[in-house]
Amino acid sequence: MRVMFKKISCAVCQSKDYRVKYPEHINYAGINFSSRRSPSKNHCRIVQCNKCGLIYANPIFNDDYILRLYRDSVFINEVQVELTAEDYLDQLKIATVFIDNKCNLLEIGCGNGCFLKKAKEFGFKNVYGVEPCKDSVEQADQEIKGNIINDVFKEGLHKDNFFNLVCVIHVFDHLIDPNDVLKNIYRVTKESGHILVISHNVKFILTKILGERSPMYDIEHIYLFDKTTIRKLLEKNGFRVIYVKNMMSRYTIGHILKMFPFPGSIKTFLLKACNFLKIADKAIKINGGNMVALAQKIS
């Protein structure tokens, strides 16, 4: 299949004035959009907006090809899935200072619904999800599966002014058009409703040190936000930002070793040693380069 590309502009300020940060580095045989896979230094050309500083891929694959890659990806179910869902639940609990948890919640890009299940157990009355990956939805718990739509989030899937809270967790980096998605989030969110965003922070110190070797620079990532650019994106689409801050995350030792850009032979040795010592699933809580934002819909 011939891969087609398209040029895009900055999602925050729409400027087309940018400088190249990293040239294209694509192994077409190794294109894989499955979450939690081992990184492979595979990415489109990375640029930085000269006007607002947003870092993004440009050009990117055409829409149909991207959507097919997501639909056909494989859901890698491992201990890390449960840990990240616990992290998201922690952030949800913090957000309930501002939000009534007896309400309607939507998660965009919900995977197998692990977080949705925890949100329901926590007390959210009705939980719904949207997930493009067929394999992810098939692995969802039966209690949640019926409330997940196997599709991309778009106009017409949900009622207007229905959700008190929309959660967008590690999704904004992947979106072809973040502004269109936010327009539709605004539409389905109730008056004074909220949006909870968890995303990579491209200004994380380790990302700066690793540069192009950082797993944040990945073939499926289109936009890479920091605290300033994610705030600007939310505000321009009708949301009042309550807070944007770093967050702590739980990772298994095995997952850390898998994601860190060690040379191949060293990574193989460390993973084997980790498994031999039976510590691969041992979890630690660190700042892994993620940030969380909570914002409220402005009428």
C-alpha closest to that of 31 among 41, 23, 16? 41
Ramachandran category for residue 113: left, alpha or beta (phi over 0 → left; psi -120 to 50 → alpha)? left
Name the domain count of the chain: 1
Can you give the pLDDT at residue 81? 87
Can you give the pLDDT at residue 78? 77
Per-residue pLDDT at 235 exceeds 70: yes
Q: What is the pTM of this model?
A: 0.93
Q: What percent of the chain has pLDDT over 70?
A: 96
Q: Which of 37-41, 49-53, 208-212 has the lowest mean pLDDT?
A: 37-41
113-145, pLDDT tens digit by residue?
Answer: 999 999 999 988 899 999 999 999 999 999 899
CB neighbours (10 Å) of residue 95? 19
Can you give the pLDDT at residue 39? 63
Per-residue pLDDT at 3 exceeds 70: yes
Can you give the pLDDT at residue 30? 72
Per-residue pLDDT at 67 exceeds 60: yes
Can you give the pLDDT at residue 37? 56
Span 99-110, mean pLDDT?
A: 88
Distance separating alpha carbons of residues 146 and 140, to the nearest angstrom = 9
Per-residue pLDDT at 100 exceeds 80: no
Per-residue pLDDT at 48 exceeds 70: yes
Q: Of 74-83, 93-102, 165-174, which one has max mean pLDDT? A: 165-174
- Give the range of the structural domain holding residue 49, as residue numbers without chain letter: 5-297
Q: What is the CATH number of the domain that holds 161?
A: 3.40.50.150
Can you give the pLDDT at residue 262? 85
Q: Which of 30-39, 48-57, 214-223 has the lowest mean pLDDT?
A: 30-39
Can you give the pLDDT at residue 1? 54
Written as six digits, the tokens of 52 are: 């607002």
Split at pLDDT 50, 70, 90, the class of 166 is very high
Span 15-25, mean pLDDT?
A: 96
Mean pLDDT of the chain: 91
Can you give the pLDDT at residue 36? 55
